[in-house]
Structure 1
Amino acid sequence: MRWIRGLPLLTLLLPVVVLAQAPSRGPARPRVVAVKSASLAPYASFLAGFSSEARADVTEVTLEESPTEAARVFKSLAAQKPALILALGPLAANAARRSLGGDVPVLFAMVPYHEKYGLEAPHVTGIALTSDFGPELAALKALAPAAKRVGILHDPRSSAGSVTQARSVGSGLGLSIVPLAVESQERVGEVLEGAVGKVDGLLMVADKTVGNASVVQALIAFSAARRIPLVALTASQVKEGATLALSPAPLALGQQAGRLANRIIHERVDPGALAVARPEGLDLSFNLTAAKKSGPSCDVALEVLRFAARRDFAVKVYE
């Protein structure tokens, strides 16, 4: 063994080796707690997209179907003070708004008809599951170029704003919106019969009065009988017989939420100052059998595919 001024060379090298192997520690990443209303496959896809974009460590909590239990969970989370609560689904979003103080920001997503839950709060923002009607009306126009009048079955007490927005968007596409107002499900048949000959297509909106299975079936039956296209809200409604629908893709929605979370966490943007965002990534569902009623099936399908390609929408086809 070699010696240097009375010390073994090995003794001098040991500290160097230890220091070289010591792990380097960077700053701790912010913590996001994703609270799910249930264990659903779309939530899993959403979180995969969120985790790919958010610059944070994500932990998951799944609620039981109990508002009392949800409140208890959020009380515990409030004491931990995470950088952000990501609330997925109605139960989680409602409990987060009610149980968390303004010092914990909340981002909600995957909440159908979010308007009816009153989720507005200084520390809350989110991403809607519906667009501004621009893609839907453009898809209807691609499917039925001769269409001029689009009927919207709705309850004015909850969806007057949606009709106004659709009118604004439709005017730029040469489409006029025909409001089909109904305040109870019992009058749906009567209102639809009154629309015969007055509409060239139908557009569904997220409305709690008409947003149920029986009304959807009435709209599908009316569309088929009058041979006019029906733009629905979900792929399942297209599978049942609606002509087409544009619905958010959970993975893309999660990526959008991740980017929004970065603004809130890293740029210190106040969630209450952010309007609820519209979904950016959409899937187009298309019912070939229903579309045949609008014209030659090959021509109709080709136009829908061209429309989807221009917008970079993934396409699901049903018969």
Structure 2
Amino acid sequence: MRSLYLCILLLSLVLPEAAPATELLILQSSRSLVYAEALRGFRAAARSSEQPLVLSDYAEVDVQRLVREVRPRMVIAVGDKALTACRKIREVPVVSMLSLSLSQKPQSDHVGGVTMVAAPGRYLELFAQLGAKRIGVLYDPKVSGLYLKRAAAEADDHDVSLTTEPVRHSRDLQGKLEKLKGEVDLLWLLPDSTVVTTVNMEALLLFSMTQGIPAVTFTGQYLKNGAAASLDIDPYDIGVQTGELALSLLRSGPDQKVPVLDPRRVRLQVNDSVLRKLRLRTP
């Protein structure tokens, strides 16, 4: 991997001192097809001068120093690693996309962007369509507490109730599942790194099947394992939405609060065989 110093040297070659500051410094956590698709959408919406950098290509990157050298008007953080690296930036706004932590932790006024989880209300609407009223949720308060607080505030509007069980260590999951037996009509699986591990996913979906209740997840990849439905994000549209937000902020000036937005487009996927087995109507 290249060092930070080589990185800054390379940037100095493409950004002479006499040149005006670039509008966007794009920090990408790593090289992945999902990030590439989101950036394709971003660039379609925000046609601005940019300097991209993939953090995984370097042994270390001092992002604060990089911002001083490149002098961008805004930093675009793609993924959790990039957003974490931007936490100490104060000089310019930071707009993030495809970062789970964006919806899991409170952000300062100059940090925001588009989250990568469907808004709680979208899930609550789906639960109502499935005819489920008692929703079981296992979560780590440090990871999903902020998101679940939003869901609890909206639950009554959708005529559903949430039965929540905090899981502070992944090994505690089985005991928490026991508490949900006979108490819930549906199991809601959040993108919670403490709860959703490879081993725990087997236990969660087995619980769903043995209890005869649907499991609703955040990604369609679990449908083949027995989940009933999922609300998937659209990386390209998240990129477009983030680009539109960035462009609006650039036009508004440097002192604007950067909002945290939910993805505006999500895709419902269902496992028809599971829905039929549970005698649930297709939403």
Does TM, normalized by the shorter one, top 0.5?
yes
Q: Does the CA-based 8 Å contact 1:113-1:206 persist in structure 2? A: no
- Using the TM superposition, give the Cα deviation of residue 214 of structure 1 relative to its aligned residue in structure 2, in angstroms: 2.0
Structure 1 217/96 Cα, relative in aligned 2: closer, same or farther at 3 Å?
Answer: same
2:266 maps to which of 282, 298, 302: 282
Equivalent in the alignment of 1:87 = 77
Matched, 1:172 2:162: no
Structure 1 76/228 Cα, relative in aligned 2: closer, same or farther at 3 Å?
Answer: same
Q: Does the CA-based 8 Å contact 1:63-1:92 persist in structure 2? A: yes
CA deviations over 1:252-306 (Å, ceiling 9, x no partner): 10111011101211111635x233211111122222233233216xxx3xx33xx
2:68 maps to which of 67, 71, 78: 78
Structure 1 179/124 Cα, relative in aligned 2: closer, same or farther at 3 Å?
Answer: same
Question: Gaps spanning 5+ residues in structure 1: where?
Answer: 1-27, 305-319
Matched, 1:201 2:186: yes
Equivalent in the alignment of 1:50 = 42
1:96 maps to which of 86, 89, 99: 86
SS of alignment partner, residue 180 of structure 1 = strand
Q: Does the CA-based 8 Å contact 1:31-1:58 persist in structure 2? A: yes
Cα distance in 1 between the residues matched to 2:24 and 2:152? 39
1:123 maps to which of 110, 132, 157: 110
Cα distance in 2 between the residues matched to 1:113 and 1:288? 32
2:200 maps to which of 203, 215, 219: 215
Does 1 or 2 have the higher relative contact order (CA < 8 Å, sep 6+)? 2
Question: Gaps spanning 5+ residues in structure 2: where?
Answer: 1-19
Letter in 2 for 1:151: G
Cα distance in 2 between the residues matched to 1:205 and 1:141? 17
CA deviations over 1:158-207 (Å, ceiling 9, x no partner): 43443332222221111111112333222211221221111000112233
More moved, 119-128 vs 190-199:
119-128
Matched, 1:135 2:122: yes
Q: Does the CA-based 8 Å contact 2:137-2:188 persist in structure 1? A: yes
Equivalent in the alignment of 1:233 = 218
More moved, 104-113 vs 251-260:
104-113
Cα distance in 2 between the residues matched to 1:57 and 1:157? 37
More moved, 38-47 vs 57-66:
57-66
- Using the TM superposition, give the Cα deviation of residue 93 of structure 1 relative to its aligned residue in structure 2, in angstroms: 1.3
SS of alignment partner, residue 64 of structure 1 = helix
For residues 101-116 of structure 1, the aligned pairs below 5 Å read 102-114=90-102
Letter in 2 for 1:219: L
Cα distance in 2 between the residues matched to 1:217 and 1:140? 22
Equivalent in the alignment of 1:314 = none
Looking at CA atoms only, which structure, 1 or 2, has the larger radius of gyration?
A: 1
Letter in 2 for 1:70: V
- Using the TM superposition, give the Cα deviation of residue 29 of structure 1 relative to its aligned residue in structure 2, in angstroms: 10
User: Normalization by structure 1: what TM-score?
Assistant: 0.74
- Using the TM superposition, give the Cα deviation of residue 122 of structure 1 relative to its aligned residue in structure 2, in angstroms: 4.4
The alignment of Structure 1 onto Structure 2 pairs a total of residues equal to 264
Structure 1 269/151 Cα, relative in aligned 2: closer, same or farther at 3 Å?
Answer: farther
Equivalent in the alignment of 1:41 = 33
1:294 maps to which of 260, 278, 281: 278
SS of alignment partner, residue 172 of structure 1 = helix
Letter in 1 for 2:148: V
Equivalent in the alignment of 2:148 = 163
Amino-acid identity (%): 26
More moved, 53-62 vs 190-199:
53-62
Letter in 2 for 1:126: G
Cα distance in 1 between the residues matched to 2:106 and 2:152? 26
Structure 1 280/270 Cα, relative in aligned 2: closer, same or farther at 3 Å?
Answer: farther
Q: Does the CA-based 8 Å contact 2:102-2:112 persist in structure 1? A: no
User: Normalization by structure 2: what TM-score?
Assistant: 0.83
- Using the TM superposition, give the Cα deviation of residue 157 of structure 1 relative to its aligned residue in structure 2, in angstroms: 4.6
